């Protein structure tokens, strides 16, 4: 049988539809483990697979979505046994008909560190066990689906790629705005999936086909991989106590044609779709040929939430997290003062950096462990992409492995030994790499010599399948205090590299080493380098002279449309005096203008799109805000503890809570609700507030006073649903706002919820559901609560819920996110 990979692009491929809702129709009850039906009701699984095969599906998905060691609580059968049985049932239908069988891998249901308590490696090992079992059982491909966290997707993708030889299709789940649960956008998710060598990528679940149509242009803009889309049959509704979906087979198929028009190569269905939906889809696609794939040649790096594209104005790489010549940072690294590192990162982001360099290399330091810790910690408080800066291959791999996004790696050079060590990692983790133009012979004195090394590096990279677009050449700025002509050599080499079609970078400040008033020389050289086409500069973004040069150049070269960013920064600056603190500066506009060596052709500023505003770090605050306020807003736990203790010296504990902690949390919450901040920053701020609360609580106890709670709230994930990520996030925030939370956990029977509300006489209960098959139990729980606990208000939330559904089941409130729950609680208790 031919591989599914070989058929991509030759014809439209059709996946099957929903499994969970089909099993529910067959009698699956709330609370049952779906995967155990492989043993208890094999005939039902065979009937479902047969129905989809007869409808024309090319790929039959095994009933293994939740089969991993983290998610499965019933130990009657092992994970490999469950997967083997699921694959067997699908293959016995698929193989005789010439169809493929897919191992289905879903999320663990838990958040990964640092947002949650599940380690990256625990998730990786769980997915590895599932992937190996699937391949051994005879799966033809792996489908990783319904992932809402790019880091969990990375763990799953690496596990599948490293432990099997099967093709891997990978799909994420997002909201109608294209945002993942953890804050990532479509470009960031796509860049990550492509960098890790998925064979097809896309989206499934959460939304209907009409909503997913809008995602296709962005998907096509950022990837040249095959696209897979598996929408729901609309959003779930409850009719007569049953979950139903509003999009019928014909409407589903008609909408799917727009997905095909947008470039999808593989189509299928998720929740609510049936064999009838797939039959209509097959009929709609039978005369359709896949659209040609676009060809992209852009150099991109990413964090979990957004991308940075090289080309156009120079990208700024903040250099301050590098211990060379920085005694205070060296001290922090030896003491593992992570808060100091985080403050440096936040300050550089606020000053305008696009990317943060992270280097912790010092003698007598466990660099692999500390670099990994620094990378994880920085990604919890800033959404900027990181440049992982190390020459230690072990530290390099460990940091690349847990990095959430497509990183920039610093660096490789022309030494064969270095290329042999670094390029396998660049290929494996799909990163972009800085290439230093030096080799065994040292740094050439001529531009031609440096370019020759650049060519050698590119040729060697090609042997590993690393494209030229993922190499950024550093032509090495050497101090002019030693060799005055060094700057001219560097600039000439930079122009030559650009003419080869390579992006370039420089450690700009090296040029002025040993000179008085270094910033003046650095700023002048920076301007010359930008004029020569520099793509990225490793600089100190807190340097006024350097940033003045950068803003001025962008205005002159029309990267700053109508000088908007320049005016915004300088309009209130006094004519004489100290420059004001760094203000927002524009982030990359990508391909707005190609700065050619020796001077780019001028264009009308009005013809160039404005650069988007920079990514600001969490809740940068005016100077009048207290140290505690700032520490909580920035998510700095150690600083919050220290600041809380200081505040308590002059302020009563309850006043500290009311006037410093709560306003800081409100500020971050508002940023989260508006989309300016993301889940990692929200949770880190909550953790910082918890650290401060612990100090305040100790002070109250020392004074013989107990905690003052605003009120009691009962939380639960409804019967049959084992996903509690959303509930846990709500719990963290509510506790930080001073509420006592009774957390009943997941898969909670309605009567258990009622009993807890009665016991604590709770005025508010929060219910969560993620699975479409369990939303009916939310209605049952609410009905029972309203009958037995009429004083208790009920708020609901979850990915599959809507305000319309909340109204239908008589919930008192629908909260789209965790901050919505906090806002509603305030109306009940305050």
Residues 6+ apart with CB under 8 A from 778: 718, 767, 769, 796, 801, 809, 811
In order of 336, 638, 684, the CA distances from 342 in angstroms are 11, 11, 12
676 and 727 housed in the same domain: no
End-to-end CA separation in angstroms for the chain: 66
- For residues 692 and 636, what is the distance between their CA atoms, to the nearest angstrom? 10
Question: Residue 789, annotated ligand binder?
Answer: no
pLDDT over 90, % of the chain: 70
Residue 18 located in a structural domain: yes
Q: How many CB atoms lie within 10 A of CB 689?
A: 30
Residue 296 located in a structural domain: no
Per-position DSSP letters for 362-376, written without gaps between them: -TTS-HHHHHHHHHH
> Could you give the angle at which helices 637-648 and 679-702 cross, rounded to 10 degrees?
30
* Tens of pLDDT, residues 607-648: 333 333 444 443 333 335 889 999 999 999 999 999 999 999
The SS3 call for residue 112 is strand
744 and 692 housed in the same domain: no
Mean pLDDT lowest among 123-132, 341-350, 487-496, 775-784: 775-784
pLDDT at res. 802:
82
Confidence of residue 705 (pLDDT cuts 50, 70, 90): low
Residues 6+ apart with CB under 8 A from 441: none
Mean pLDDT lowest among 173-182, 198-207, 315-324, 496-505: 173-182
281 and 346 housed in the same domain: no
Q: Are 389 and 359 in contact (CB under 8 A)?
A: yes
* Tens of pLDDT, residues 646-657: 999 999 887 888
**CA-wise closest residue to 220 among 153, 269, 291, 277:** 291
pLDDT at res. 564:
95
Hey, what are 830's tokens? 């305050």
pLDDT at res. 617:
41
Q: Select the more confidently predicted residue: 21 or 130.
A: 130
The SS3 call for residue 214 is coil
681 and 622 housed in the same domain: yes
Confidence of residue 576 (pLDDT cuts 50, 70, 90): low
Mean pLDDT within 313-330? 96
Mean pLDDT lowest among 1-5, 406-410, 571-575: 571-575
278 and 420 housed in the same domain: no
pLDDT at res. 708:
63
Give the burial string for 284-300 (b: 16+ CB within 10 Å, else e): bbeeeebbebeeeeebb
Tell me which residue has tokens 């810790």.
373
pLDDT at res. 710:
83
675 and 690 housed in the same domain: yes
51 and 156 housed in the same domain: yes
630 and 733 housed in the same domain: no
In order of 32, 43, 373, the CA distances from 37 in angstroms are 9, 9, 42
196 and 156 housed in the same domain: yes
The pLDDT of residue 565 is above 60:
yes
Question: Could you tell me the pTM of the whole model?
Answer: 0.85
Mean pLDDT within 816-828? 88
Number of domains the chain contains = 4
Hey, what are 652's tokens? 């009563």
Residue 612 located in a structural domain: no
Q: Are 178 and 145 in contact (CB under 8 A)?
A: no
Q: Specify the long-range contacts of residues 415-424, CB closer than 8 Å, at least 24 apart.
A: 415/439, 415/440, 416/440, 418/391, 419/457, 419/460, 419/461, 421/393, 422/393, 422/396, 423/460, 423/461, 423/463, 423/464, 423/466, 424/464
CATH code assigned at 584: 3.20.20.20
274 and 324 housed in the same domain: no
Residue 330 located in a structural domain: yes
**CA-wise closest residue to 767 among 720, 804, 735:** 720
419, 423, 425, 426: CA torsion to nearest 10:
130
Residue 36 located in a structural domain: yes
* Tens of pLDDT, residues 75-95: 789 999 999 999 999 999 999
Residue 696 located in a structural domain: yes
CATH code assigned at 637: 1.10.1240.10
Residue 292 located in a structural domain: no
pLDDT at res. 624:
57
Given 554, 572, 607, the domain boundary residue is 607
**CA-wise closest residue to 169 among 124, 230, 112:** 230
CATH code assigned at 253: 3.20.20.330
Cis peptide before 78 (omega within 30 of 0): no
Confidence of residue 658 (pLDDT cuts 50, 70, 90): confident
Residue 415 located in a structural domain: yes
**Containing structural domain, residue 726:** 709-830
The pLDDT of residue 754 is above 50:
yes
Kindly state the helix (H) or strand (E) to which residue 348 belongs, with its residue range. helix 338-351
Residues 6+ apart with CB under 8 A from 417: none
551 and 429 housed in the same domain: yes
Mean pLDDT within 6-16? 96
Per-position DSSP letters for 704-733, written without gaps between them: T-------EEEEEEBTT----HHHHHHHHH
230 and 274 housed in the same domain: yes
Given 655, 672, 705, the domain boundary residue is 705
Given 252, 285, 318, the domain boundary residue is 285
CATH code assigned at 806: 3.40.50.280
Question: Residue 270, annotated ligand binder?
Answer: yes
DSSP state of 660: I
């Amino acid at each position: 049988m031919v591989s599914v990979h070989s058929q991509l692009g030759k014809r439209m491929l059709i996946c099957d539809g929903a499994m969970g809702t089909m099993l529910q129709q067959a009698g699956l009850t709330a609370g049952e483990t779906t995967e155990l039906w492989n043993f208890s009701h094999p005939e039902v699984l065979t009937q479902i697979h047969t129905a989809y095969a007869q409808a024309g599906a090319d790929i039959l998905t095994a009933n293994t979505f939740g089969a991993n060691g983290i998610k499965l609580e019933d130990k009657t059968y092992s994970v490999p046994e469950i997967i083997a049985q699921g694959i067997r049932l699908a293959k016995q239908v698929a193989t005789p008909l010439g169809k493929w069988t897919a191992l289905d891998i879903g999320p663990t249901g838990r958040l990964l560190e640092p947002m949650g308590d599940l380690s990256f490696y625990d998730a990786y090992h769980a997915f590895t066990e599932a992937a190996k079992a699937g391949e051994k059982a005879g799966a033809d491909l792996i489908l990783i689906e319904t992932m809402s966290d790019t880091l969990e997707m990375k763990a799953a993708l690496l596990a599948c790629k490293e432990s099997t030889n099967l093709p891997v299709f990978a799909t994420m789940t997002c909201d109608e705005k294209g945002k993942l649960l953890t804050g990532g956008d479509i470009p960031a998710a796509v860049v990550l999936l492509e960098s890790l060598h998925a064979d097809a990528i896309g989206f499934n679940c959460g939304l209907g086909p009409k909503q997913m149509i809008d995602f296709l242009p962005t998907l096509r803009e950022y990837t040249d991989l095959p696209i897979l889309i598996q929408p729901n049959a609309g959003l779930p509704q409850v009719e007569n106590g049953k979950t139903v979906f509003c999009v019928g087979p014909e409407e589903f198929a008609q909408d799917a044609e727009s997905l095909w028009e947008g470039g999808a190569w593989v189509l299928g269905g998720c929740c609510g779709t049936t064999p009838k939906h797939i039959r209509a889809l097959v009929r709609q696609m039978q005369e359709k040929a896949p659209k040609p794939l676009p060809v992209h040649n852009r150099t991109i790096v990413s964090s979990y939430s957004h991308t940075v594209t090289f080309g156009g104005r120079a990208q700024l790489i903040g250099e301050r997290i590098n211990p060379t010549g920085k005694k205070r940072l060296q001290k922090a690294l030896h003491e593992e003062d992570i808060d100091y590192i985080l403050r440096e990162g936040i300050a550089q982001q606020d000053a305008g950096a696009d990317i943060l360099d992270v280097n912790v290399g010092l003698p007598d330091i466990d660099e692999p462990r500390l670099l990994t810790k620094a990378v994880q910690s920085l990604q919890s408080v800033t959404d900027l992409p990181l440049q992982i800066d190390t020459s230690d291959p072990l530290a390099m791999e460990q940091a690349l492995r847990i990095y959430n996004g497509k990183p920039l790696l610093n660096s490789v050079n022309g030494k064969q030994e270095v290329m042999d060590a670094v390029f396998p990692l660049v290929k494996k983790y799909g990163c972009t790499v800085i290439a230093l133009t030096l080799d065994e012979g040292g740094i050439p004195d001529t531009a031609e010599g440096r370019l020759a090394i650049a060519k050698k590096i590119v040729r060697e990279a090609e042997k590993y399948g690393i494209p030229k677009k993922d190499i950024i050449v550093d032509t090495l700025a050497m101090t002019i205090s030693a060799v005055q002509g060094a700057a001219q050599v560097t600039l000439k080499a930079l122009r030559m590299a650009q003419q080869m079609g390579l992006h370039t970078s420089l450690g700009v400040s090296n040029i002025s080493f040993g000179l008085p008033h270094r910033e003046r020389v650095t700023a002048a050289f920076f301007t010359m380098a930008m004029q020569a086409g520099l793509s990225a500069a490793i600089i100190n973004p807190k340097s006024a002279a350097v940033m003045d040069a950068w803003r001025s150049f962008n205005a002159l070269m029309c990267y700053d449309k109508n000088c908007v960013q320049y005016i915004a920064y300088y309009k209130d600056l006094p004519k004489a005096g100290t420059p004001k603190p760094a203000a927002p500066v524009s982030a990359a506009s990508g391909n707005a203008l190609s700065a050619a060596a020796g001077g780019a052709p001028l264009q009308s500023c009005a013809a160039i799109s404005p650069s988007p505003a920079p990514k600001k770090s969490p809740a940068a605050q005016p100077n009048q805000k207290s140290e505690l306020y700032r520490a909580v807003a920035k998510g700095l736990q150690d600083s919050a503890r220290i600041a809380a203790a200081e505040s308590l010296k002059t302020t009563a504990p309850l006043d500290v809570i009311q006037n410093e902690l709560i306003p800081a949390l409100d500020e971050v919450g508002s940023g989260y609700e508006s989309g300016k901040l993301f889940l990692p920053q929200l949770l880190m701020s909550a953790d910082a507030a918890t650290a401060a609360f612990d100090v305040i609580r100790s002070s109250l106890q020392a004074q013989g006073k107990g905690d003052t709670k605003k009120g009691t709230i009962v939380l639960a994930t409804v019967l049959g649903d084992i996903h509690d990520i959303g509930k846990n996030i709500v719990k963290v925030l509510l506790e930080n706002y001073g509420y006592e939370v009774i957390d009943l956990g997941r898969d909670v029977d309605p009567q258990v919820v009622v009993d807890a509300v009665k016991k604590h006489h709770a005025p508010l209960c929060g219910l969560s559901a993620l699975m479409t098959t369990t939303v009916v139990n939310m209605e049952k729980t609410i009905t029972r609560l309203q009958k037995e606990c009429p004083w208790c208000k009920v708020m609901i939330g979850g990915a599959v819920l809507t305000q319309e559904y909340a109204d239908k089941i008589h919930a008192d409130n629908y909260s789209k996110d965790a901050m919505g729950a906090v806002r509603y609680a305030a109306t009940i208790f305050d």
